[in-house]
Structure 1
Amino acid sequence: MAGLKNQTKQNIINLTIKLIDDNGYTNISLRKLVLKLGLTTGSFYKHFSTKNELWLEVTRDLSQQIANTASKNIDLGMTPEQNIVALAVSFLEQYQTHPNIMDFLLFNPMSQADLNQSSESFKYLQIIDQLITEVINKNHMNKDKQTLFIQLWSFIQGYGILIKNNSVSLDQSIIQITLNNFLKE
């Protein structure tokens, strides 16, 4: 019985991700969601106490998926700077292919609340943080880690929004140039 309950919960999460990807998260209603799954509203509430709890679970699931994809681009033979660029490219490619997912992941109220409590749910941010630490240590920099993290993360998010809105296209050299500028002391 527990396996079926877990499968139903995962089915709700998976369908929610698909609906977000197809239509954006602001267009999802619980009624439509449970109808598509052939569930009742009561069944939904056996798995999630609120829609916000579902958003939080979906946010964590998507963050893990994106971190897994991005991790495949990290190469121990590359410098931390090269890995940051590879990670940024991987993340920005998600903006090209799944803009609604990225909007949800970065801007839904539950992801913001969860991020404010702890970045542990956001594996992607942990990877960036680790690479920034490696860059600072490798180059014996006096640069503040938090400042560099904010600069880099703000750039990646902003560039992603520009890509999503078809204002620019993804150009790896822009990422490299920007990172080099951030690393100057």
Structure 2
Amino acid sequence: MDKDSIRQQIIDLTVQKIRTNGSAEISLRKITKELGITTGAFYKHFKNKSELFMMATKKLSKQVYEQIYPDIKDYQKQPHSSLMNLGKDIIYLFNSSNHVMSFLFFNNAALDSYRDARIGAEMPFLSITKSIIAAALKTDDTVLINTTFIQLWSFILGYGMLVSKQVVKIDEKLMNDTLRKLLEEK
């Protein structure tokens, strides 16, 4: 087996485990045992578990981006409706794929992507969100884009978590009204 193949198998198995049970129970020992490699072999491919989680975050970001892209592909022409669709898609994904969404937004690698624009640029899902916000606001003012991003992201992720924990039911009117108000205030 070549080096890239083993590395990809480790990432793929990690993503599979995240989809099934979330990331809390992932251990390097279990991953390596399931793949029939040693822990030492793991460290030939990754510096540590954080690097593995960064790669899993990038892969999941790309997968979610590809899943929601049909609803937002015309964002340059229709940025407001694309942003509404994006928000709804995220909330529905929290409802149907809670482990993935929780990992994608709240693991340390994902949190680093919010703090560091270079890392964030490698996350297609995060990048497209900021591009849609810029198009909706018709600006390239990074302060305004980032402020709006924080407000929208806070609502979408908070509401998505409430839905995933069955605290509230999905209410599209609430989602539409809230997202519209957040954009209109700009």
Question: TM-score, normalized by length of structure 2?
Answer: 0.87
Q: Match for residue 105 of structure 1?
A: 104
Please report how far the alpha carbon of residue 146 of structure 1 lies from its aligned counterpart in structure 2 after TM superposition.
Answer: 2.6
Q: How many residues align?
A: 179
Among 45, 62, 65, the residue aligned to 1:67: 65
Q: How does 1:65-144 map to 2 (within 5 A)?
A: 65-76=63-74, 79-118=78-117, 119-137=120-138, 144=144
Unaligned 5+ segments in structure 2 are none
Name the SS for the 1:27 alignment partner.
coil
State the alpha-carbon separation in 2 of the partners of residues 20 and 132 from structure 1. 29
The 5 Å alignment of 1:1-185 reads 4-76=2-74, 79-118=78-117, 119-137=120-138, 144-185=144-185
Offset of residue 156 of structure 1: 0.7
Once residues 93 and 22 of structure 1 are traced to their aligned partners in structure 2, the CA distance between those partners, rounded to angstroms, is: 17
Q: Tell me the secondary structure at the aligned position of residue 22 of structure 1.
A: helix
Write the distance in 1 (CA, Å) between the matches of 2:96 and 2:152: 22
| Backbone CA RMSD of aligned residues | 2.0
Instruction: Give the distance between the partners of 2:113 and 2:184, measured in 1 at CA.
Output: 32
In structure 2, how many angstroms separate the alpha carbons of the residues matched to 1:156 and 1:181? 13
Instruction: Spell out, residue by residue over 1:63-108, the C-alpha distance to the aligned partner (whole angstroms, 9 max, x if none).
Output: 1111111212124286211111111122222212211111111111
CA contact (8 A) 1:56 1:114 kept: no
Gaps of 5+ in 1: none
Q: Percent identity?
A: 35
